A and B are shown apart, each in its own frame.
Chain A
Amino acid sequence: MSVSTVRGAHAADPTPGLEAHDLSRAFGDVRALDHVDLVVPRGGVTALVGPNGCGKTSLMLVLASLLSPDTGHVRVLGVDPAKDPRGVRRLLGWMPDGFGTFEALTVREVLRTMAGAHGLGAGAARPRVEELLHTLRLDPLADRPARVLSRGQKQRLGLAQAMVHSPQVLVLDEPASGLDPRSRLELRDTVRALAAGGVTVLVSSHILDELEEMCDRAVVMDAGRVVASHDLTAAPALLRWRVGSLDVEALRAVLAARGIEATDVPSPDGDWGRRGALDVDVADEADAHALLRLLVDHDVPVFTFGPATTGGRLEAMYLSATREERS
């Protein structure tokens, strides 16, 4: 099957790559997942972000047919892991966060074993393993025991393990942790190439800049719930702009007169005097320009004016989504 037919297929086929409906799972009194609803369209890369302990790994375990939810259900390309775990496992590759590996085996043996475990015969497994060793730059390590691999090398082996049966859905739990800059770029390229081939990828990470370059969509979780979901390819709805002024009260007065909402930016230690900064939500860059004109027209002593976060849009989105949750 060629790339175009795959794309055609998923364009016509409404079955999402991954879905979760009303998913809840508690561990004792910890609600790891709290009525999660999620649809990941087929093809493309979706980021799963959220603070530590918000339930990302738990969600991925349910998707990977390892953990069963207390309520709700998930579907992987329409297959329910509760009913047909083998069917799901054929379609899905899972890369755990901080996994171990078969330490006494060499890298090549690990991959061959995993290929065998997925039911690939020796004839199909050998070329596939060599190909993966090559694409993930593991060939110089192929005959070394997995025990001696560095953390980043182990991560690459983990990705190769997840991909060994050429799954149509990949669930990657913090694949970039421990990777050097070059390997990160390569990971991004690998993931993008897979997505271009019609693979649905769900990837969690805390390094938002990187996800932004890799992902088409982002889902933000907090305290076991999905709190935001954004299309990163579309224009953002709101941007958070930070305005610093030598006279914060004058700034506040002008904004209040226009009914523009602003939030205080806590000042760092030390005496700021009358100086201060406020965050303002703007629709787009043109809106920001209008705001600056307004402030200048009213002689507000502005000394900084720019996006509130040094990071990208994903970071802004993440911060605003999780901040709303906190308050």
Chain B
Amino acid sequence: MSGDRGRLRERPTSGAPDAPTTRSGRSPAQSWAAIRLVAGLELRQRIRTSRWYLVLAVWVIAVYGVVLLGWFATSESTSDERGVVLYSMTTFVVLGFGLLVVPALTATSINGDRDRGVLATLQVTQLGPAELVLGKLLAAWALAGLFLLVAAPVYVFTLVTGAVGPLRALGALLVLAVCLAVFCAVGLACSAWTARTVSSVVLTYLAVAGLGLVTVILFGLLLPRTAVETDRQVWTMTDDQGQRCVLQTQRREDLHTERVWWLLAPNPFVVVADAAPALPANENQTAFDPLQAISTGVRLARIGPAEGALDECWSELPVLREGEAVEDATRVAQAGPVWPLGLGALVLLGVGSTAVAIRRTRTPVHRLPRDVRIA
């Protein structure tokens, strides 16, 4: 060092001697470069330190294990049916495992950096809080994208066999990508909100499980409370005149699902299922498509109980009532899609979470979390 005094002396003159007193703005190009820098740093750190390839291997095994099960289960079916089943299963497996794996990518991102003493080092540079948070989000999303990519061959297969149209396959991938980004953002918000990494991991999983499970549980719990007793016209079988289907008036409980359906809307499974365009109506199509089942269920829940007479003859024979009961299919078509609302809610959650994370990484800090040292 001593030999280099001269070099050091020439250096510290880069800034303006008359110090700037205005707030220094950043051009979009500078911000984008900063975000890329943070994302690159995150990715390099993560790829070199963690056993990410193990996680990836487990992921591949999980996804293709399920796909293989589906393959064997549909060995009797036509290739179209097989395609539909594989498509639905893959989408669900990716979303389900994504719900488990992806929050871990960001759940300790900010408070973990603070614990390791590297957050403040970055905060005293030109990097703004938004650039830091968005860079971390981008890195986590890129890794989540890698998980999605693993599943892509299955979609290609279903495309090639013609079971699923390109729009449907692409739609599912896009909505999945958005859902994963939202999970990443929720993790970031939790890691910025709580000081301890243990708490933020728990919080993140609670939040994500809340979306995936608690919405359904709440819906189930609240459903009985929507019951209203009314007189309904019901087609029932009568024994007296030899198995005839007749119209009677009975006192019935109607479940007014239209009051609680919105609980299901932000559920990622519902969003993904409902966003996938419906399969073309096809008489030969007998495969059970869980995506379509969920979609139909939610759309029906949204419009509530049917107005007309109920059909409880359960008869396959053409009966007298024909034309009087309202078909579910028409009602679903009337209900319209649910996913734009659900996706909107999820995106709002993601944007809100990101905003919280940015607010909580802003410096200089006014209010510190209890017992947190900056350095």
Contacts and interface: CB of A to CB of B under 8 A. Distances in A.
B124 A79 contact: no
A250 interface: no
A86 B23 contact: yes
Nearest to B12: A199
Contacts of A98: 117, 375
Given A91-B19, A186-B2, A85 B118 contact: no
Interface stretch (B100-108, B179-187, B292-300, B362-370): B362-370
A309 interface: no
A113 B126 CA distance: 12
B306 to A, nearest CB: 60
A28 B44 CA distance: 38
A87 B21 contact: yes
Interface of chain B: mostly helix, strand, loop or mixed: loop
Contacts, number: 182
B199 to A, nearest CB: 19
Contacts of B127: 117
Given A83-B23, A102-B118, A114 B8 contact: no
A66 interface: yes
Interface string B268-295: 0000000000000000000000000000
A184 to B, nearest CB: 11
Most chain A CB neighbours (cut-off 10 Å) among B49, B125, B128, B370: B125
B5 interface: yes
Nearest to A194: B8
Interface string B112-128: 00001110111111111
A125 B285 CA distance: 63
B48 A104 contact: yes
B9 A197 contact: yes
A55 interface: no
Contacts of B45: 102-105
B24 interface: yes
A79 B1 CA distance: 31
A196 interface: yes
A167 B12 contact: yes
Contact of A100 (B22, B116, B125): B116
Interface stretch (A128-136, A233-241, A263-271, A285-293): A128-136
Contact of A15 (B14, B19, B363, B366): B19
A2 to B, nearest CB: 8
A2 B6 CA distance: 11
A161 B124 CA distance: 11
Given A102-B118, A104-B49, A113-B41, A6 B124 contact: no
A198 interface: yes
Nearest to A28: B370
Interface in A164-208: 165-168, 173, 185-187, 189-190, 192-194, 196-199
A65 interface: yes
A119 B126 contact: yes
A: contact size bracket: 35 or more
B7 interface: yes
A136 B14 CA distance: 20
A13 B17 contact: yes
Contacts of A64: 124
Contact of A99 (B38, B123, B126, B375): B375
A172 to B, nearest CB: 12
Interface string A89-119: 1111010111111111100010001101111
Interface in B331-375: 363-366, 368, 370, 374-375
B374 A61 contact: yes
A148 interface: no
A57 B120 CA distance: 13
A90 B15 contact: yes
A34 to B, nearest CB: 18
B12 A197 contact: yes
Contact of B24 (A66, A86, A117): A86
Contacts of B117: 96, 98-101
Given A94-B124, A104-B48, A190-B8, A166 B20 contact: no
Nearest to B37: A116
Contacts of A79: 19-21
A118 to B, nearest CB: 5
Nearest to B125: A117
B238 interface: no
Nearest to B11: A166
A61 B375 contact: yes
B1 A135 contact: yes
Interface string A44-64: 000000000000010001101
B19 A77 contact: yes
A101 B41 CA distance: 12
A257 interface: no
Contacts of A9: 17
B19 A67 contact: no
A241 to B, nearest CB: 36
A67 B364 contact: yes
Interface in B24-43: 24, 26, 30, 33-34, 37-38, 41
Contacts of A67: 363-365, 368, 374
Nearest to A198: B12
B120 A87 contact: no
A66 B120 contact: yes
- Which A-B residue pairs are the 5 nearest by beta carbons? A100-B117, A104-B48, A197-B9, A68-B364, A117-B125
Interface of A: 1-3, 6, 9, 13, 15, 27-28, 57, 61-62, 64-68, 76-79, 81-87, 89-92, 94, 96-105, 109, 113-114, 116-119, 131, 134-137, 145, 161, 165-168, 173, 185-187, 189-190, 192-194, 196-199
14 contacts: A13-B17, A62-B364, A66-B374, A67-B364, A77-B19, A84-B23, A97-B375, A100-B117, A103-B49, A105-B45, A168-B12, A189-B1, A190-B1, A194-B8
Interface of B: 1-2, 4-5, 7-15, 17-24, 26, 30, 33-34, 37-38, 41, 44-45, 48-49, 116-118, 120-128, 363-366, 368, 370, 374-375
